[in-house]
Amino acid sequence: MPVFDPNGAATEDSGIFGFFFTPEESALVLIPVPWEATASYGSGCSRAPEAIFKASMFVELFSFDLRNFFEKGISLAPEKPMIRTLNKKARKAAEPIIKKGGLLKSDSKLVNNAHSAYMSCKRANEEIKAEVATWIGAGKKVGIIGGDHSVTLGSLAAHTEKYPNLGVLQIDAHADLRAAFEGLTYSHASVMYNVLKETNIKKLVQVGVRGFCEEEFIRITGSNNRVVTYFDSEIQKNLFEGVKWAELCDGIISDLPEQVYISFDVDGLDPKLCPGTGTPIPGGLDYQQAIFLLKKLVSAGKKVVGFDLVEVSPLKNNDWDAILAAHLLYQLCGIALVS
């Protein structure tokens, strides 16, 4: 077996980021979830775990401010074949519905399809929840590598059982608060609606949101502060008018309880940083702005108990989306391990 050298290049048979930790000896276990059953525009995010794994070999391990945090152990759990099977099944059922722009209740064939997609998505959520719960039960922190955003539901279902007062920090271009989208209950565009309904998270703080419908806006304003949204337009307006990003971050962080789960949808960033992502919208956070916010969260004393990174879609013949995601993933690992 080759000797691990944190200063050297990753060797061919190593694990994620060039490490040789087993999941059992790691403080942080990453779970690959190649899931994109309800992708409505661009697909490809089911290829993300594999592409991010490859790109992870080129991430520098030493961190200026977090030093050698990786010594606590980071590893990627093996993929569950059941997820791929369910993804295929759900995708096949959902595709004709998405093609038509949503479910027509008069079309009995589509109604059957919607039910079939519902059952497969529900089953996948349960699989994800069970796996996350197993690792949490073994004393690990867990990070999910999606997949589309719907994978967050199963992860949060497990995390809220262990952490009853959990807050969620969602970096995202979208509010994801529709009660079903395109007639699909477990759509990526409904994930936070489902999270609010099916789990007991205490608080949802959204940052970078710039794609939402009126139904979602009303849901936010009527949530009695359970949902607090920092709209991208407001963030940028404040910055243009001279408010410091550090000050805005303090505001965001003060809205969160002590225990925080980070749900990082890569499309929350400026789409030039993630050109492959399925539903890009102009605007959004810069990479270093996002990292600054996450690190400030930790220095403010919040405990990051888990996270997911979703909606990464590697382009063919262009590794950039995967490279960005691998670096972002490593930062998320660091933030979770030091907090």
Task: Name the nearest CA neighbour of 79 among 141, 128, 10.
Answer: 128
Longest dimension (CA), the chain: 63
The contact mask relative to Mn ion for 36-75 (x = CB under 5 A, - = no) is: ----------------------------------------
**Minimum distance of Mn ion from residue 285's CB (angstroms):** 12
Contact between 267 and Mn ion per CB under 5 A: yes
Task: Name the nearest CA neighbour of 57 among 291, 267, 322.
Answer: 322
The CB density around residue 241, as the number of other CB atoms within 10 Å, is 7
**Minimum distance of Mn ion from residue 333's CB (angstroms):** 21
**Minimum distance of Mn ion from residue 6's CB (angstroms):** 34
Count residues near Mn ion (CB under 5 A). 5
Query: Under rule CB under 5 A, which residues in 159-188 are in contact with Mn ion?
Result: 172-174
- Tokens 């050698």, residue? 68
**Minimum distance of Mn ion from residue 138's CB (angstroms):** 31
Query: Under rule CB under 5 A, which residues in 89-148 are in contact with Mn ion?
Result: none
Nearer Cβ to Mn ion, position 150 or 259?
Answer: 150
Task: Name the nearest CA neighbour of 320 among 52, 61, 57.
Answer: 52
Nearer Cβ to Mn ion, position 216 or 265?
Answer: 265
Please tell me the distance from the alpha carbon of residue 82 to that of residue 68, in angstroms, as a whole number. 35
Q: What Cα–Cα distance (Å) separates residue 259 from each residue in 11, 119, 185, 208, 306?
A: 36, 32, 28, 21, 9
Piece of the chain touching Mn ion by CB under 5 A; list 31-39, 84-92, 202-210, 264-272: 264-272
* Sites of contact with Mn ion (CB under 5 A): 172-174, 265, 267
